[in-house]
Every structure is written in structure tokens, then in C-alpha cells.
Amino acid sequence: MRYLIGAIPDWGELFKEAFRCCKPGGFIESAEVNPIFNSDDETINEATAIQKWNHLWNEGGKAFDRSFTEVENDVELLQAAGFVDIQVKDFKVPVGGWAQDPKLRQVGRFVHATIANDLEGYTLLLAQQTLRWPQDEYQLFLTEMREAMKDKNIHGYLRNRFITARKPER
């Protein structure tokens, strides 16, 4: 299962169904991203657009009764479904070209381009139907968000999680 963010109303039920469908000893893999921006040095705290982005995803999830931050509970839900040998790999994926490591800087630029190119596609429904932002406020948010992601003084990242889990033999 990959990048089903916002598509699943009940992750616990999904994992139970995956457990039912797996053969004994079989594995599942889940790869998800948490769309909430983080920073280890708190530089996102001063970026108003990023705070609005985070608010948008948190409130949008509540309004649509869907979790956009499923990665926060997936281990417990997999255990509750009956899976064992759960292996978790979390990655901090930079957004923008701020990372010191050249490979991470390249990844960050790619992630920035991906989000910036479809920023409206990611946010329009949530902004218009959930928070009911006026059009001019929404357009300003888009501009400010694109600028914030380019700012190398803002060290924002998204957390990607990859999980494998096994159905017991018996």
C-alpha cells in the first residue's frame, strides 16, 4: 500500500482486511507521508504559510473524517490487526534546497518542485470547503507557501514512513 493519504476512512479496518487476505507468513508493506511540516530547529515556527499549511491538513482531516497523519498510529493499528515483526523506517524528507548533504539537498529541491507545482491541487478542496478561505486569502497563501519552501533559512521536512509487517504462521 502506498500513499493512500486521505483516501482511507478507517486504517484499522484496512489493516484487518490486509491481514485477512495475507497467507500465513505473508508480508504487507505500507509507505505513507505525513503532510505536516516539521523542523528540528523550529525554523518553521516563523513561517506563517507553513503554519497555515499544517492547520489546513489537521482541520481538513477532522472535517472529512479522514486521517492525513495516519503514520502516527499505524504501528498500533497493525499490531491490533494481528501483524507481527513490524519493521519501521522513518525518513525526514527535506522540502527545499536547505539540506547540507548534497543528495538530501537534491531530494529537497525535487520535493519542493513537486509540492509547488501542484500546491493548488493539494490544498484547494481543504481551503475552500473546510476553512472557507476567501479566494484572495487563498491566493496569498499559495504565494507565501511557495516562497517559504524556497527559503533556505526554513529547514522544513516531511516525514515518510515505510513499514513491513508479517502475518504469523498460525
pLDDT tens-place string over residues 99-146 = 999 999 999 999 999 999 999 999 999 998 888 999 999 999 999 999
Tell me whether residue 4 is in a domain: no
pTM of the model: 0.90
Mean pLDDT of the chain: 94
Tell me whether residue 71 is in a domain: yes
Q: 103: domain range?
A: 11-166
The mean pLDDT value for 23-38 works out to 96
The pLDDT value recorded for residue 62 is 87
Tell me whether residue 91 is in a domain: yes
- 65 DSSP 8-state letter: T
Environment class of residue 155 by beta-carbon count within 10 Å: exposed (0-12), middle (13-18) or buried (19+)? buried
Amino acid at 148: A
Contact 27, 83 (CB under 8 A): no
Q: How far apart are CA 77 and CA 85, in angstroms?
A: 13
Q: How confident is the model at residue 152 (pLDDT cuts 50, 70, 90)?
A: very high
